Structure 1
């Protein structure tokens, strides 16, 4: 990889950092996909719900530090779908299940009586609060050994890293057009 990237003008030390960062992120992604912390919280609390339903409840509750759209005020099924990046029909099905299980309720919008909004019931709010409390107990305990300088460095850098795809967009930057064309040409003999 170092040789390939050096041909395209990427410095070797930058490549070393990129390779190390990619390995860390891939390991992190695998752990996050397992949803270890959420699974543990649901199990420890003895909750009869799965993680997709928990996600929907958190999207309804909409903590401002997790969802940019939380400032919208009222939450509709479409809002939940957008917050979670899921299909609106899936969000609707999960909301219907949560309503039947007593975690959520439908209500009439105070802003537009033609709209139906979704709110958490007292039971749903209690579940979200308990799960998030476990999450922050564990995360807070883990971070308690870190210095203020480490935390002050990590948080903004991690946030910056999390936004790199937003800056990039859904396609590779035009400045890599030639490099991508060369790679595509090299692959063409295998794709026929």
Structure 2
């Protein structure tokens, strides 16, 4: 029988050995993440920053500037030279789209092309002074807004929240081990779907 409500989901989680408190937290967090994802997709804060700062570029173009800079907290271990292929990889976009966006940023003076110090045949991409100024200004705008919100938290809350958020940010890394661990429960879900009524074709 397919799952119909959260009580059935809770029963499945308990059957899998996940306690009631953890199950409730999972469902609450999932709801919050779905809400957060919908707002994040609209990129409200980033769009507002570009408008209020009168920068004259769109979010896709700004993302390219950030990818050229390659901040460690966002992209992990970052070092060495940045090329168009690097930008494509960091933003998970097609190389041809990355090339077009990089060219736009170069033409508008936010970035510049250079020659690799490691291989003179290779072209690298760097931020211009104008590009650096834009990245710093947008980041400062975002930090002002977030800082205003977090400023209402006490020291203990911040000290607990940041490490826990970093820890939670890695939960997707455990997908493969978890699917192996709960193979029987996943098979049960698949069997329930197979028994569900077929959709009617108009």
- Secondary structure, counterpart of 2:72 in structure 1: coil
Partner of 2:110: 103
1:85 lines up with 2:85 in the alignment:
no
Shift of 1:88: 1.9
Shift of 1:168: 2.4
Which has the greater radius of gyration? 2
Deviations 1:69-111 (A, max 9, x none): 42x2211111112222222222111111111221111111111
Partner of 2:191: 185
Worse overlay, 148-157 or 59-68: 59-68
Partner of 1:58: 66
- Tell me how large the CA RMSD over aligned residues is: 1.8
Unaligned runs of 5+ in 2: 1-8
Shift of 1:172: 4.9
Q: 2:130 aligns with which of 117, 123, 129?
A: 123
TM-score (norm 2): 0.87
Partner of 1:11: 19
1:29 lines up with 2:37 in the alignment:
yes
Partner of 2:83: 76
Instruction: Indicate conservation of the 8 Å contact 2:179/2:186, yes or no.
Output: no
Partner of 2:5: none
Structure 1 ranges of 4+ moved more than 6 A: none
Which gives a bigger RCO, structure 1 or 2 (Cα 8 Å, sep 6+)?
2
